[in-house]
């Protein structure tokens, strides 16, 4: 009785058939790999059968508060750097008096406070400062998006930077809110 042998993408065994435990019609070098795979399959089956006899609960690792806090702090630092750098870049390239030009006064102090809160205070104490800062940076970006002149045919014209900053602020705001909920 012939049974086909696995011929997958990871296997170099092709067009092989097993006949009563003997391998016929295999390419050179594939016999050893086939035998290794058979041994490992038998070992895996034995492990599963032994494990079934003494069943024990599976413990899944859960993210610790420190891991959650660190992940959120990294996202907030990234938002502060993006918002501050974008504000400086737009302020240096867009002429003064243009609608939707980034304003240094509200953006840079809020981005600096967000950066300082995460670097100096550390998480989760920084969440009290970062949640309103995320909201305010998002508000500033949405206001800039609405004030920026442009038509629908110009996309991704001048509105792409305020849109990207507002999207980043929204995503970081969501992550911060979820982090606060998971820490309490």
> Between residues 35 and 110, which one has the greater pLDDT?
110
Q: CA of 176: how far to CAs of 1, 35, 65, 125, 160, in Å?
A: 63, 53, 13, 12, 24
Say how far apart CA 70 and CA 55 lie, in whole Å: 36
Per-residue confidence (pLDDT) for residue 94, from 0 to 100: 87
Q: CA of 44: how far to CAs of 5, 21, 101, in Å?
A: 18, 19, 64
Say how far apart CA 122 and CA 135 lie, in whole Å: 19
Which parts of the chain are beta strand (E)? 2-4, 17-19, 22-24
> Tokens 């309103």 correspond to what residue?
132
> Between residues 35 and 177, which one has the greater pLDDT?
177
pLDDT band at 137 (very low <50, low <70, confident <90, very high): very high
What residue ranges of the chain are covered by domains with CATH 1.20.140?
65-183
Q: CA of 182: how far to CAs of 17, 75, 144, 166, in Å?
A: 55, 16, 33, 24
User: For the domain with range 65-183, which CATH number is right: 1.10.3430, 1.10.760, 1.20.140, 2.40.420?
Assistant: 1.20.140
Question: pTM for this structure?
Answer: 0.62
11-36 pLDDT, tens digit per residue, is 444 444 444 444 444 444 555 555 45
Spatial CA neighbour of 31 closest among 46, 41, 21, 20: 21
39-76 pLDDT, tens digit per residue, is 666 676 676 666 655 555 656 666 667 888 888 889 99
């Amino acid at each position: 009785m012939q049974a086909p042998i696995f011929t997958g993408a990871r296997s170099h065994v092709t067009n092989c058939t097993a006949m009563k435990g003997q391998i016929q019609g295999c390419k050179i070098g594939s016999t050893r790999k086939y035998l290794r795979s058979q041994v490992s399959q038998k070992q895996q089956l034995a492990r599963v059968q032994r494990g079934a006899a003494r069943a024990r609960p599976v413990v899944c690792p859960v993210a610790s508060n420190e891991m959650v806090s660190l992940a959120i702090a990294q996202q907030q630092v990234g938002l502060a750097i993006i918002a501050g750098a974008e504000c400086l870049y737009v302020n240096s390239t867009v002429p003064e008096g243009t609608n939707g030009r980034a304003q240094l006064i509200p953006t840079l102090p809020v981005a600096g406070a967000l950066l300082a809160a995460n670097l100096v205070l550390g998480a989760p104490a920084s969440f009290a400062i970062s949640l309103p800062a995320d909201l305010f940076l998002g508000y500033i970006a949405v206001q800039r998006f609405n004030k920026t002149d442009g038509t629908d045919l110009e996309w991704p014209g001048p509105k792409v930077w305020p849109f990207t900053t507002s999207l980043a602020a929204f995503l970081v705001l969501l992550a911060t809110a979820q982090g606060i909920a998971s820490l309490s």
